[in-house]
Amino acid sequence: MIIVLAPWATADHAHKILDHVKTLGLDAHQLQDEYRMIIAVMGDEQPAIDAAFETWAGVERVMPVRQPFQLASREFKPENSFVRVGGDVVFGGDEVHIIAGPCAVENEATALAIAEAVKAHGCKLFRGGAFKPRSSPYAFQGLGEEGLRILSRVREKTGLKIVTEVLDPHDAELIAEHADMLQVGTRNMSNFSLLKTLGEIRKPVLLKRGMSSTIKEFLMAAEYILANGNPNVVLCERGIRTFENYTRFNLDISAVPAIKRLSHLPIIIDPSHATGQWRLVEPVALAGIAAGADGVMIEVHTDPQHALSDGSQALKPERLPGLIEKLRGISGILGRRASFG
C-alpha cells in the first residue's frame, strides 16, 4: 500500500506511522518531495489493516497497490484460464461459444423442440431455467425439480451441455446432478452463501454480473467462488441499470476488454437480457464478440408469442443461421474459431 501524508504532516506524524508499520512486521520506504512525504509499505496487503491507516493523524489517503480480488486477477495468473464444460467445451481458449435456449423450461415437448433446433444450427450448449428468479412473485416461477428432469432428458437425447440457474444453495447439489454448468443470475451475484456453496461443489459456474454492480464487485463475487475451491468460473456481462430505459438494461460493452485486462477468467455476454428486444439481440451479440467476449448467451424460443417468460427478447430458431454466420465472420477476423454452425 501507499500512504500519502498531508502536506502539513510533521516528521513526528511520519515517525509514528513508520513505527506502527514496523510493529506489523512490514518494511517501509519513504519518498519526500517538496510538498509531502509518501510511505510505500511492502508485504501482503490486508485491506482492513491498510484502511485503518486512513485514521492516523497526518495521513491524507491510503492506496492499495494490488486489486482487492487476487485469485481472479491477471497479476496472480497472467495466462487465460480454461473452463471445461461437460467434457469437450472449453471457455477461455480460441473458441467462441453460443449458449442458446428458452428463458424457462416450460414443458418437455417445447424444451426438446428448441434444443433440437439449436443443435441443428451447431450450438453445443443449451440454456433453460427450472428455477426462475422472477421480479414478481405472481409470475411463472419455473417447473423446479420437474424442469431439471426435463433438462436431463434433453441432454440424453441431444448431447447438448446443460446450463441452468441455481437460486438457493440448498438446491445446488441437486441441480449439479442435472446440469453441466450452474448459472448464478444477476439478482444473486452478491448472495455470498450461494457463491461459497458453488465454490465447494466445483461444477463450472456461469456468474452473471449484478445489475447494479461495478466491475470490481463482479470480480470480487468470482473471487468468492475461486477462494472456496472452484476455479471453473465463466463471467457473463448481462447489462447494468443506467438512466437509459429504452432497452431493458444497458450492456456494458467496455466491461469485456476491461475484465480481460483485469482477470484471467473467460467472459461471455448476454444480449437477450441486456436489451430485452429480439431485434437488438444480433447487433449487440456481434459487438460483444468484437469486443473480445468468449461467447454469447441467447434466448431462443420456437413460439416467442406464447413463451411463459421473456418472449419479447427470444429469437426464433430461423434467425440463428444469419447470426451464426456473422459471429463466425467476426470470430475469424479476431483469429478465433466458432464452436457452432
Residues of this chain that interact with ligand PEP (CB under 6 A) are 103, 129, 133, 165, 185-187, 208, 238, 270, 273
Min dist CB 137 to ligand PEP, Å, is 15
User: Among Mn ion, ligand PEP, none, what does residue 237 contact (CB within 5–8 Å per kind)?
Assistant: none
CB closer to ligand PEP, 189 vs 262? 189
CB closer to ligand PEP, 55 vs 136? 136
Min dist CB 142 to Mn ion, Å, is 11
Report DSSP letters for 25-72, one per residue.
Answer: T--EEEEE-SS-EEEEEPS---HHHHHHGGGSTTEEEEE-SS-S--TT
3-state secondary structure of 199: helix
Min dist CB 164 to ligand PEP, Å, is 9
> Kind of pairing, strands 59-63 and 2-5?
antiparallel
48 contacts: CB under 8 Å, gap ≥ 6: none
User: Among ligand PEP, Mn ion, none, what does residue 208 contact (CB within 5–8 Å per kind)?
Assistant: ligand PEP
Return the exposure string of 277-302: e unless at least 16 CB atoms fall within 10 Å of the residue's CB, then b. ebebbbebbbbbbebbbbbbbbbbbb
Q: By Cβ distance, which residue is nearest to ligand PEP?
A: 185
User: Among Mn ion, ligand PEP, none, what does residue 81 contact (CB within 5–8 Å per kind)?
Assistant: none
Give the three cell numbers for residue 65. Answer: 497497490
CB closer to ligand PEP, 188 vs 230? 188
CB closer to ligand PEP, 238 vs 260? 238
Q: How many CB atoms lie within 10 A of CB 53?
A: 17
Burial label for 27, CB within 10 Å (0-12, 13-18, 19+), is: exposed
CB closer to ligand PEP, 37 vs 300? 300
What is the Cα–Cα distance from 287 to 253, expressed in whole angstroms?
Answer: 8
User: Among ligand PEP, Mn ion, none, what does residue 328 contact (CB within 5–8 Å per kind)?
Assistant: none
Min dist CB 31 to ligand PEP, Å, is 46
| Grid cell 468460473 in the structure block, residue | 233
User: Among Mn ion, ligand PEP, none, what does residue 317 contact (CB within 5–8 Å per kind)?
Assistant: none
User: Among ligand PEP, Mn ion, none, what does residue 294 contact (CB within 5–8 Å per kind)?
Assistant: none
Min dist CB 126 to ligand PEP, Å, is 13
26 contacts: CB under 8 Å, gap ≥ 6: 41, 42, 43
What is the Cα–Cα distance from 250 to 78, expressed in whole angstroms?
Answer: 29
Give the three cell numbers for residue 47. Answer: 485491506
Min dist CB 273 to Mn ion, Å, is 6
Min dist CB 239 to ligand PEP, Å, is 7
Instruction: Please report, as ranges, the residues that interact with Mn ion according to CB under 5 A.
Output: 103, 310
CB closer to ligand PEP, 89 vs 274? 274
Give the three cell numbers for residue 294. Answer: 468468449
CB closer to ligand PEP, 103 vs 265? 103
29 contacts: CB under 8 Å, gap ≥ 6: 39, 40, 42
Q: By Cβ distance, which residue is nearest to Mn ion?
A: 103
User: Among ligand PEP, Mn ion, none, what does residue 238 contact (CB within 5–8 Å per kind)?
Assistant: ligand PEP
